[in-house]
Amino acid sequence: MTDTLLSVSNLRVSFPTRSGVFEAVRGVSFDLGRERLGVVGESGSGKSMTGRAILGLVRPPGKVTAGRLELNGQSILNLPEKQMRAIRGSRISMVMQDPKFSLNPVMTVGQQIMESYRLHSGQSGRAAREKALGMLHAVQIRDPERVFDAYPHEVSGGMGQRIMIAMMLAPDPQILIADEPTSALDVSVRNEVLRIMDKLVSDRGMGLIFISHDLNLVAQFCDRVLIMYAGRVVEELAAKDLHNARHPYTRGLLESLPRLDHAVERLSVLERQDGWRDEIRPNGA
Amino acid sequence: MLKVEDLNVWFGDHHERVHAVRSASFTVGTGESFGLVGESGSGKSTILRAITGLFGSWSGLVEVAGQRVSGRHRSRAFHKAVQMVFQDPYASLHPRHSVDRVLSETLHLQGMDQIDARITRLLDSVGLGRGFRFRYPHQLSGGQRQRVAIARALAAEPRLLLLDEPTSALDVSVQAEILNLLSDLRKERGLTFVMVSHDLSVVAHMCDRLAVMRGGEVVEQMQAATLRSGDAQTGYARDLLAASSSYRRETTPDPAA
Amino acid sequence: MTDLTTRAWLLSDAPQTRRQARLGAFYQGWLTFKANRLAMFGLVILILLLLMAAFAPWIAPQNPVAQNLAERLKPPSSAHWLGTDSLGRDILSRLIHGSRVTLFIVGTVALIAPVIGLFVGTVAGFAGGWVDQVLMRITDIFLAFPKLILALAFVAALGPGIGNAVLALAITSWPPYARLARAETLTIRNADYIAAARLQGAGPLRLLIGHIWPLCISSLIVRVALDMAGIILSAAGLGFLGLGAQPPMPEWGAMISDGRTYILDFWWVAAMPGMAIFIVSLAFNLLGDGLRDVLDPKGAKE
């Protein structure tokens, strides 16, 4: 790929528990350029925790360590909260799964977008208002003026997710981390939201980390895919090659999906192997 | 087995009545597997809740095995014949009740004898084994919880099983296991399924026939084969099919950018 | 070695018997509780209080009601560790015997009030409709009066005495529990596991007792432990006003009331029982905090 925006090597996240230390992420490494990087895995694979660790959102007693965690060559590993807050939002943004829990219910949509923009740009109120309306327009909301004055409970799920994207992209971040941004949405709305995100990311030359459990979606939406299992990346490949994946885990996931185009009597079931937890990546980066 | 005619379901009182389902009609034959698909808010789950009496405000005709039901009250015979598996296995098991308690209470309520032996058999039939008998929900994974929920539904030896998005909260590999389990159980016990899902490929895999719902109305009924071949009659069903099958990217990535 | 295996047996994720599952769940809770040092401190104090009450006649150096006017109002000394009161009675002995009274009051109120509250609250929340309206309006009426004033009114009507004081406190302290139990019930009522039990033909009584109560009880226990301090203080308040325990019963509130007259010259007469009330109240609060970690994990961390 082109210039590296984010460079991660040997990222680990661990939590102390009663029965010893639990490692949620166990040595994840990747470089992100101006591209769409998909991170796929089942629940508990550490994919969301990877995103949170990059943003410094792992709460104590969780511990994050890494050989390298650099944004444009500058280390952002375990920065003090104050510095991290300046990076979060303005340089790296995150869109969560459910807009219902991410939007403040007692502030209008417009105020929230303006606030996120002003916090990071220090612009005047008027400029922020114009920017907010522009962003609402950019995420293809038909009547930005009306939505600007609406409260989060007055908008639908798909609209809410578009508003979240507008809010997150208002300060022009370099990287967007989207954690299951469309899982709570219906298919018709899903495609629309994806299209908007896709367009904004490519127009602005941003790097996108797209965390999802949906292999097919990631294959169609992203450029490159990391497949995670038990806190590690077990396979990395170009999205268009996903259906030729070699790792038995990836293959197993793909084959366990019921398909519309041809009927099967029984679905094949993934046989997990203990070896996957610790093997060396065959095509490691 | 199940006959639904002109079913209307609504929330709220006279002034602000919201219709969740409008004059929905369909029939499901004995041993058949029938799917209800649609987006959120299309009323597909609401139909199941009206059939089981979890919702009282509905009108129309609902017949189970030739017996007409009404309002919220359901007879003992109904509870024996019809059971339901819920969407979220994290919410459908009582957090303070062990698997043993859940199953023994259910068997007791259904007036079964030999409860001890039956629990072991139920656990075996859903592929859990007796080692799981005394666990609490927090000691189970999502897939294991859903197996317990299925065991609970099977305890009464029902003939009609209502499945409300039984795998949408699970990982795909676990989904495959649960769907296989449900297919096997249906074959073994000659069950009739009504399955609600937003995932067309799951419904195509599990069901013989299905109804597409939108805004509380049944838009179209078709065979699963029709769904596979993409020969839906109505525009909405075709759109839904197109949207589910793939996401087409409009901008192409430019490696030089 | 046996220690290790017992622990593994208790913490097993796959218990083999009902007993192992129960004990395991209990042990998990105990470990969480033990991790909270302050709560352990509270627990230790309360255990000491219990022992003190149980063995009061053997521990107390002197008879708590024996007067000795020659020795009146003596400061703490080797003969009287905490001094003597206006009638020359040993304050330490009175405090030790008073712990029985305190435990009696606290125990009885803690048994009566949450039970009434649980019953009223869950029935109101589960039944809904007019039952809910009637029960909650009654609760509101009780809540509209300051607790101590209402208790005073009850005691005034029933006549002073420790039994009536307890009754008055219990009657006035159930409404918050009813509110809490109702709020919990409303969130539980529509849960899928309740719906699933309904589909098996479970009747309302079974749902209420077998499914809803177990989930409400834990938050009530936490609340009771946190309210204990308040109950002790209310009981002491009634005693202070002369409406609770009657002389010569060594009740801590009444003891403070006795010392009030001499508070400037003979501080220990009022300060010592005050200290006792303070320590026990604190212990209950710490215990309540620890119990919340165990029973109500969502409220504690994160």
Quick one: pLDDT at residue B93?
A: 92
**How is chain A split among helix, strand and coil, in percent rounded to 5?**
40, 25, 40
Average pLDDT over residues A83-110: 82
Distance from CA of A18 to the nearest CA of C (A): 9
The DSSP symbol for C84 reads B
Q: Do the Cβ atoms of C79 and C47 come closer than 8 Å?
A: no
Give the structural domain span for B115.
2-242
Nearest C-alpha in A relative to C11: A19
For the stretch A195-217, pLDDT in tens is 888 888 888 888 999 999 888 88
Distance CA C33, CA C42 (A): 11
Choose among B193, B156, B154, B192: nearest CA to B76: B156
| CB-CB neighbors (< 8 A) of A59 in chain C | 302
In chain C, what is the straight-line distance between the N-terminal and C-terminal CA atoms, in Å?
A: 36
Q: Does A17 touch chain C (CB under 8 A)?
A: no
Please name the residue that has the structure tokens 């379901």.
B9
Query: Which residues in B have their CB inside 8 Å of a CB on C?
Result: 49, 52-54, 74, 76, 79, 82-84, 86-88, 91-98, 100, 105-106, 109-110, 131-132, 134-136, 139, 149, 152, 155-156
Quick one: pLDDT at residue C165?
A: 86
Phi-psi region of C289 (alpha: psi -120 to 50; beta: other; left: phi over 0): alpha
For the stretch A14-45, pLDDT in tens is 988 877 788 889 889 999 988 899 999 888 88
- In a domain, residue B255? The reply is no
Q: Whole-prediction pTM value?
A: 0.85
Please name the residue that has the structure tokens 């026939």.
B209
Average pLDDT over residues A217-223: 87
Quick one: pLDDT at residue C4?
A: 63
Q: What is the CATH number of domain C80-300?
A: 1.10.3720.10
Quick one: pLDDT at residue C183?
A: 93
Average pLDDT over residues A246-251: 88
Cα dihedral sign, C269-C270-C273-C274: negative
Choose among B176, B228, B175, B167: nearest CA to B198: B167
- In a domain, residue B209? The reply is yes
Kindly report the average pLDDT of chain C as a whole number.
Answer: 86
The DSSP symbol for C145 reads S
Residue A235 is inside which H or E element, if any? strand A232-238
Confidence class of residue C299 from pLDDT cuts 50, 70 and 90?
very low
Are A59 and C31 an interchain contact pair (Cβ–Cβ within 8 Å)? no
| CB-CB neighbors (< 8 A) of A157 in chain B | 40
Cα dihedral sign, C137-C141-C143-C147: negative
The DSSP symbol for B14 reads S
Half-sphere exposure of C232 toward its Cβ, with a 13 Å CA cutoff? 26
**Res C202 pLDDT > 70:** yes
The interface predicted TM-score of the complex, written ipTM, equals 0.87
Quick one: pLDDT at residue C78?
A: 81
Distance CA C187, CA C177 (A): 16
Please name the residue that has the structure tokens 């004059």.
B23
Choose among B178, B164, B175, B146: nearest CA to A43: B175
Are B253 and A187 an interchain contact pair (Cβ–Cβ within 8 Å)? no
Are B244 and A187 an interchain contact pair (Cβ–Cβ within 8 Å)? yes
Distance CA C206, CA C210 (A): 5
**Res C119 pLDDT > 90:** yes
- In a domain, residue B256? The reply is no
**Res A160 pLDDT > 60:** yes
In angstroms, the Cα distances linking B209 to B183, B189, B225 are: 15, 20, 8
- In a domain, residue B94? The reply is yes
User: What are the beta bridge partners of residue A179?
Assistant: A211
Q: Do the Cβ atoms of A262 and A235 come closer than 8 Å?
A: no
**What is the percent of chain C where pLDDT is above 70?**
96
Q: Do the Cβ atoms of C282 and C274 come closer than 8 Å?
A: no
Helix axes B142-154, B172-189, angle to 10 degrees: 20
Quick one: pLDDT at residue B246?
A: 62
Nearest C-alpha in A relative to C29: A18
Q: Which has more confidence, B30 or C12?
A: B30
Are A260 and B142 an interchain contact pair (Cβ–Cβ within 8 Å)? no
Question: What is the 3-class SS of B75-118, one letter each residue?
Answer: CHHHHHHEEEECCCCCCCCCCCCCHHHHHHHHHHHCCCCCHHHH
For the stretch B170-205, pLDDT in tens is 888 889 999 999 999 999 999 999 999 988 889 999
Hey, is A125 helix, strand or coil?
Answer: helix
Residue C59 is inside which H or E element, if any? helix C56-59
Helix axes C129-144, C91-127, angle to 10 degrees: 150
Average pLDDT over residues C35-61: 90
**Res A181 pLDDT > 60:** yes
Quick one: pLDDT at residue A280?
A: 62
**The token pair that represents B46 in the structure block:** 């609401």
Quick one: pLDDT at residue B11?
A: 83
Q: Do the Cβ atoms of B203 and B37 come closer than 8 Å?
A: yes
Please, which chains are in contact with A (at least 3 CB pairs closer than 8 A)?
B, C
The DSSP symbol for B59 reads E
In terms of average pLDDT, the best of A92-106, A184-198, B170-184, C65-79 is: B170-184
Report the domain count for chain B. 1
For the stretch A54-88, pLDDT in tens is 988 888 888 899 988 988 888 888 888 888 888 88
For the stretch C145-181, pLDDT in tens is 888 888 888 888 888 888 888 888 888 889 999 999 9
Please name the residue that has the structure tokens 């004033």.
C149
Cα dihedral sign, C284-C286-C287-C292: positive
Please name the residue that has the structure tokens 């294991």.
B144
Please name the residue that has the structure tokens 């939505």.
A147
Distance from CA of A214 to the nearest CA of B (A): 8
Distance CA C276, CA C273 (A): 5
Q: Does A205 touch chain B (CB under 8 A)?
A: yes
Distance CA C32, CA A128 (A): 48
For the stretch C214-259, pLDDT in tens is 889 888 988 888 888 788 888 888 888 888 777 788 888 888 888 8
Amino acid at C281: S
User: What sections of chain B are H helices per DSSP?
Assistant: 44-52, 76-81, 99-109, 115-125, 142-154, 172-189, 200-206, 224-229, 235-245
Low-confidence ranges of chain B (pLDDT < 70): 245-257
Query: Which residues in C have their CB inside 8 Å of a CB on B?
Result: 13-18, 20-21, 25, 191-193, 195-202, 206, 210-211, 214-215
Quick one: pLDDT at residue A199?
A: 83
**Res A284 pLDDT > 70:** no
Distance CA A91, CA A272 (A): 38
Q: Do the Cβ atoms of A256 and B173 come closer than 8 Å?
A: yes
Average pLDDT over residues C196-220: 91
**Res C1 pLDDT > 50:** no
* CATH number of domain containing B149: 3.40.50.300
